[in-house]
Amino acid sequence: MLVLLLGSTVVACGRKAATNRAGPAKTTAAPATTTNSSTIALTPADAPACALLLARVQRVTTALQTSSELIAHSVDKRQLSQRIAIERVQLRRSAQLMTGGPIPAPLEGADRQLVLGLGAFADDFARAESPARHGDFSAAAQAMNDAAVVRVILGATKTIENACGGG
């Protein structure tokens, strides 16, 4: 579900942008790591923490989906700029939410990657605010189009969902 959400955020803004892109956006997230959930050994004692972690991932997904839909339906530069700012705040809050509560030890790395990815994506949205405010939808879309960060977020989310039975 997060795959569709992150893709729709960038595509929604890209609809308003020209097709020319000047190169990849800078990213501050750690490189994507591939963690095969079949190699993650969870114990029965991890089940309660895993359920809480999965619930947090689902809340993050819902919050981001709602604000992404708002971005997709923005009608002018003022509204788009405001909604990009809201999404940035949602991304920061989501990263903070993911650090709260128990995390099964085998999933600490995936959770850390998710938190870093959400923070980096929030930085991308911060960079998109000014161009959107000035009506430069292409630059705004380019700032939010950070494939490396999206891969980090999606990889971490998939690892958590698969390990905790939500995938």
Which pLDDT score, from 0 to 100, does residue 3 have? 44
Look up residue 102 and give its two tokens: 């128990």
pLDDT greater than 80 at residue 126: yes
16 in any annotated domain: no
Count of structural domains within the chain: 1
Sign of the Cα torsion 68, 163, 148, 125 reads positive
Which pLDDT score, from 0 to 100, does residue 128 have? 95
User: How wide is the angle at C-alpha 135 spanned by C-alphas 63 and 92, nearest 5°?
Assistant: 25
116 in any annotated domain: yes
Residue 73 is given by DSSP the state: T
User: One-letter amino acid identity for 71?
Assistant: I
Which pLDDT score, from 0 to 100, does residue 28 have? 46
19 in any annotated domain: no
Residue range(s) defining the domain that contains residue 141: 50-167
Q: What is the pLDDT of residues 127-158, one digit of tens each?
A: 999 999 999 988 999 999 899 999 999 999 99
Q: Which residue has the higher pLDDT, 161 or 67?
A: 161
112 in any annotated domain: yes
Q: What is the pLDDT of residues 96-118, one digit of tens each?
A: 999 999 999 999 999 999 999 99
Q: What is the band of 71 on the pLDDT scale with cuts at 50, 70, 90?
A: confident
26 in any annotated domain: no
Residue showing tokens 């893709």: 7
86 in any annotated domain: yes
73 in any annotated domain: yes
Q: What is the pLDDT of residues 6-65, one digit of tens each?
A: 554 544 444 444 333 333 444 444 444 444 445 788 999 999 999 999 999 999 988 888
Distance (Å, whole) CA 92 – CA 79: 20
Which pLDDT score, from 0 to 100, does residue 24 have? 40
Q: What is the band of 167 on the pLDDT scale with cuts at 50, 70, 90?
A: low
Distance (Å, whole) CA 10 – CA 118: 14
141 in any annotated domain: yes
